[in-house]
Amino acid sequence: MEDNRVIKTKDVNFFYGKFRALTDISMDFEKHRVTALIGPSGCGKSTLLRLLNRMNDLIDGTHVEGEVLFEGKNIYAPDVDPVEVRRRIGMVFQKPNPFPKSIFDNITYGPKLAGLGDRIELEALVEQSLRQAVLWDEVKDILGQSAMMLSGGQQQRLCIARALAMKPDVLLMDEPTSALDPISTAKIEELIQDLKKDYTIIIVTHNMQQAARISDMTGFFYLGKLIEYSATEKIFTRPDIKQTEDYITGRFG
């Protein structure tokens, strides 16, 4: 069963300068599951997510204590190349952020940099990724057009396809639907549930109902601490901790 836990954090602390944004987070993320991280603004859920593929490296004056094990190896070990980590652990952001390039170029951006040059392979990859992201039918005839012309929901699915094209093991999602309307949101939620058969997904959401709908596991964060982490069904029907229950039932603060 050891194998099933793709990512493990061990007593992770995270500091912005002297401010401790995360306190002693120890969490296991299981393969082929959707794990949701919820909690009020500033609870550290996004910070944790960005720490899992070293996106926090880009912010000055931060540092990490503890270990983040990805397939058993600490990604914060000195000999680990963060570029390599990010290739294995993809990320989708809050706002759809396609590059101002064609749909095709958006998807091949990562693979090309990683050395994939063969046009036929690239085309196959584009189709496969777009199909996985349930976008192929909508864009197959306009692959050469700018990604900026797509609707918000389509852009976000394109971003998912772009991440999938790197064939990552894990997909991190940082409030991927908070900028979308309900219909696009529903599509992305369906997609996430489809994707979990092939990927391990960790999603931050401030929409509790979304966590309820799509996740298998839910972790509730408050003030940088992991308050409760358990099966989503349990969290939403009979959480163990009162703080969790107060938060999800809206009796908080």
Partner 1 sequence: MEGTRRTSTHYERELQDIKQNLLYSGALTEKAIENVTASLLDRSSDLARQVIEGDAEIDRLDTEIEEQCIRLLALRQPIARDLRFITTAIKINGHLERIGDMAVNIAERVLALNEVPQLKPYIDLPRMAEIARSMIRGSLDAFVREECELANRVRRMDSEIDTLNEQIFRELLTFMLEDARTIHRALLIMQVSKNLERIADHAKGIADMVVYMVTGINVRHQWPGEDHDDVCRTRREEG
Partner 2 sequence: MTRKLKEILIRRIFFLFACVSILILGLIVTFLFREGIPIFRVVSVKEFLLGSEWYPTFDPPAFGIWPLIVGSFIVTSFSTLIAVPLGVLSAVYISEIAPRPVKEIAKPVIELLAGLPSVVLGFFGMVVLAPWLQDTFDLPTGLNIVNASLMLALMAIPTISSIAEDALYAVPREFKEASYALGATKSETILKVIVPSALSGISTAVILGMARAIGETMVVLMVAGGAAAIPESLFDSVRPMPASIAAEMGEAPFRSDHYHALFATGIVLFLLTLAFNLIADYVSHKFRETGSGTL
Partner 3 sequence: MALQTSMRWRYFKEGVFFGLVRLSAFLLTAALGGLLLYIFVNGLGVLSWDFLTLPPTDSMTKGGIMPAILGTLYLTTGAILVALPLGIVSAVYLTEYAKQGPLVRVIRVGVNCLAGVPSIVFGLFGLGLFVVFLQFGSCILSGALTLGILILPTIIGASEEALKAVPQTFREASLALGVSKWQTIVRIVLPNALPGILTGSILGIGRAAGETAPVMFTAAAFYTAKLPSSIFDEVMALPFHIYVLATAGTHIEATRPIQFGTILVLVGLVLGVDLIAIVIRSTMRKRKRW
Contact footprint for partner 1 (CB under 8 A): 186, 190, 193, 208-209, 212-213, 222, 232-233, 235-246, 248-253
- Residue 236 contact partner, candidates its own copies, partner 2, partner 1, none, CB within 5 to 8 A by sort of partner: partner 1
Site string for partner 3, 39-58 (x = CB under 8 A): --------------x-x--x
95 part of the interface to partner 3, by CB under 8 A:
yes
Report the residue number, 81 or 190, with the smaller CB distance to partner 1: 190
- Residue 183 contact partner, candidates its own copies, partner 2, partner 3, none, CB within 5 to 8 A by sort of partner: its own copies
The 3-state secondary structure of the chain reads: CHHHEEEEEEEEEEEECCEEEEEEEEEEEECCCEEEEECCCCCCHHHHHHHHCCHHHHCCCEEEEEEEEECCEECCCCCCCHHHHHHHEEEECCCCCCCCCEHHHHHHHHHHHCCCCCHHHHHHHHHHHHHHCCCHHHHCCCCCCEHHHCCHHHHHHHHHHHHHCCCCCEEEEECCCCCCCHHHHHHHHHHHHHHCCCCEEEEECCCHHHHHHHCCEEEEEECCEEEEEEEHHHHHHCCCCHHHHHHHCCCCC
Report the residue number, 62 or 243, with the smaller CB distance to partner 1: 243
Distance CA 185, CA 60 (A): 33
142 part of the interface to partner 3, by CB under 8 A:
no
Report the residue number, 119 or 251, with the smaller CB distance to partner 1: 251
71 part of the interface to partner 2, by CB under 8 A:
no
Which listed range, 53-61, 206-214, 225-233, 239-247, lies at the site for partner 2 (CB under 8 A)? 53-61
- Residue 66 contact partner, candidates partner 2, its own copies, partner 3, none, CB within 5 to 8 A by sort of partner: none
Minimum distance, C-beta of residue 121 to partner 1, in the bound complex (Å): 30
Q: Which residue has the tokens 């120890």?
A: 26
User: Which residues in 142-181 contact partner 2 (CB under 8 A)?
Assistant: 146-149, 159, 162-163, 166
Number of residues interacting with partner 3: please give it, by CB under 8 A.
31
Find the farthest-apart pair of alpha carbons in the chain and give their distance in angstroms, rounded: 56
Site string for its own copies, 151-180 (x = CB under 8 A): ------------------------------
